[in-house]
Amino acid sequence: MEREAVLVGIDVGTSKVCALIGEVSHDGRLTIMGHGTVPASGLKKGVVINIDQTVRSIADAVERAERLSGWKIDRAFVGVGGQHVDSLNSRGQVAVTAHHREVTREDVNRAIEVARAVSIPSNRDVLHVERRGFTVDGQEGVKDPLGMSALRLEVETHIVTASATAVQNLTKCVAAAGVKIDELVVDGLASAEAVLTETEKELGVAVADIGAGTIDLALFQDGSPFHTRVLPVGGANVTNDVAIGLKTSIQVAEELKIQHGTCDLASITEDEQINVSVLGEAAGRTVSRREVSQIIEARMRETFELLRNEIRAAGVGMLPAGVILTGGASQLAGAAELGREVLEMPVRVAAPAGVGGLVDTLLNPSYSTSFGLLRWGAASLTSGEPTRYESAPAGGGLGRIRDAFRSIFP
């Protein structure tokens, strides 16, 4: 395998920080060389609330990945999460200027610049300007207008923004852990890279990455995203409900949820009892598995209702390829079944696939964002364009990154 580049993805989540080191071959194949996962501290619902603790978590994850791979991490693609992430769609139109009236890359870039010029509040950073499609002299649905004869070029873009202060705090933490940022990538779009197929993106699909503190949602149609949001609920809400309902600790509630809980109440046959330790009681007591699952089902039903409302608010009734669940909390037993009932469309749980190397414990939905960050970087390298997605200054130009890689691997 000819090595094109070594890429690093760092997913800074509510409950864990994961650093992945992968090498990309010339044909875009990914092989994992090292990984480090540590429990996150200093974050709440995907946002930094304590800089020192977050820096320590990132540095620990990076150090573990370095030890495993024997590779020094100096730069990475970093995921951005949190309820402050938002998106809008914008159009830009320009006259084609070349004397022979052919669309050039400069025309495309000018059209994107016009689309970008929407009024975005000064307290927000633009993270992605994603090209959705072009209209050439009134002809819609053009994917790549380069070289076409035209008088007028119009582009539709999907712009993802985030709170400037939240982005600065995250950037500060990554820098303090000794890592430069290649590009900041919104978690929902990164997870989509890991679990969606091109066909699903064309048909119309939603990816919902259900983490501990948030759900990263990205809706796709005609091959590109048109709605990106983060909902402030996640698996931790379910655990808290169980802890409160059964008067037990968060640790015990988490264990109960994972080992005995389900969202599918019909699957519980007889009245099974589970032993739990209760706050303030040495001996503990038994609870019925049905009671635990009723608490879980109620909270997950509410979560899926929030998802359904968000998808409807985006102006979508039915997504032909349905909703793909991923993220740690998507692994709850019965999640897909309950999702189908509430969302009234196809629902499945997906994990990253098609990756080689040290992946024994990693190919599960908890790591979709981490793998997606590497795929994002690999796609940027192999697309042959300066950037597949125009990125914010914090991300730096991928052209520069590629030059840096070329100097490492001539």
Separation CA 246–CA 301 (nearest Å): 19
The model's confidence at residue 403, banded by pLDDT at 50, 70 and 90, is very low
* pLDDT on residue 281: 67
| Longest Cα separation, the chain | 85
Dihedral sign of CA atoms 61, 64, 68, 70 in order: positive
Q: Indicate left, alpha or beta for 28 from its phi (over 0: left) and psi (-120 to 50: alpha).
A: left
| CA gap 364, 376 in Å, rounded | 18
- Please report which confidence band the pLDDT of residue 383 belongs to, taking 50, 70 and 90 as the band edges: low
In the chain, CATH 3.30.1490.110 sits at: 86-163
CATH code for the structural domain at 86-163: 3.30.1490.110
In the block, which residue shows the tokens 């414990």?
A: 361
Over residues 321-349, the pLDDT tens digits come to 999 999 999 999 999 999 999 999 999 99
pLDDT tens readout for residues 82-111: 999 999 999 999 999 877 889 999 999 999
CB of 201 closer than 8 Å to CB of 289: no
**Which of 3.90.640.10, 3.40.50.150, 3.40.309.10, 3.90.25.10 is the CATH number of 235-296?**
3.90.640.10
> What is the pTM for the complete model shown?
0.90
Say which amino acid occupies 139: Q
pLDDT at 399 > cutoff 90: no
pLDDT at residue 146 tops 70: yes
Helical spans, DSSP H, in 177-234: 187-195, 198-203
- Give the separation between CA 362 and CA 35, rounded to whole angstroms: 9
Strands 347-349 and 323-326: parallel
Asked whether 367 and 187 are in contact (CB, 8 A), the reply is no
Secondary structure class of 209 (helix, strand, coil)? strand
Do 333 and 262 touch, CB atoms closer than 8 A? yes
**Phi/psi at 329 (5° precision):** -75, -5
CATH 3.90.640.10 placement within the chain: 235-296
What rounded mean pLDDT belongs to the chain? 89
